[in-house]
Amino acid sequence: MTTQYSGKKIIVSLDGPYSIEGDILLVRKSQVVTENGEPISWKDEGEISVGSDPALCRCGHSHEKPCCDGTHCDIGFDGTETALTGSTVDHRQTLPASTGLVIRRDFTLCMDSGFCANLSTSVDEMADKTSDPTIRAQVIDMIERCPSGSYTYAPSEDAMDSEPELPQQISVTTEMTSEGPVMGSLWVTGGIPIERADGQPFETRNRVTLCRCGLSEIKPLCDGAHRTNHVKEDE
């Protein structure tokens, strides 16, 4: 999904923070899970006031999170960007499915958020059963809750991907694990342009998850490292 440039942009600084241009709303969201730990939605925790054109922490060690305090310089943060560039069309695969839905997935974007599955089933397991309206609706709901946009769907093979309507904003997320809350990603929604440190643009998409713990191996995108390393917000 692309949008007309509105003066809003996120610029990845070389081994430094995310520089924000334009009036982009910054909010907090916490993950809502079932009693079995299955993520099902996000809870709005309110807006964050950071002034104009803020710089958001990318190394994960700022004492003023979500804003940068310069700690990346003290710790010698290596923010080398390794995420694939180009269009997701070049990377994604089409899952086998019956009539009524075409499901596509770009594995390079996945950050293992868990919204695509529950204890009884998953998008992959239901992909070939989407001729059933009930199953199709469940699959669509799961795909639209995928924060990274790794999963997408379309009504037919030659149709454009259908995307949920999401506001132009950056969400500072907290995720829930069996060991308690951990730092989540920066969830960028609404088609905000993101520019690499070398000046090259990433594909503008409706849903993007950016690393803010500094541990991802696909920087600047999130790969779920905050979860596997149990990174706490105050660390």
Model confidence at 6, pLDDT cuts 50, 70, 90, reads: low
Distance CA 24, CA 100 (A): 37
pLDDT score at 2: 45
Model confidence at 99, pLDDT cuts 50, 70, 90, reads: confident
Residue ranges in the chain assigned as alpha helix (H): 71-75, 123-126, 133-144, 225-228
Distance CA 205, CA 160 (A): 13
Distance CA 101, CA 168 (A): 27
The ranges assigned to domains in the chain are: 9-84+164-228, 88-154
Assign 180 to helix, strand or coil: strand
Model confidence at 98, pLDDT cuts 50, 70, 90, reads: confident
pLDDT score at 161: 93
At 121-141, the pLDDT tens digits run 999 999 999 999 999 999 999
Rounded mean pLDDT of 75-94?
A: 93
| pLDDT score of 1 more than 60 | no
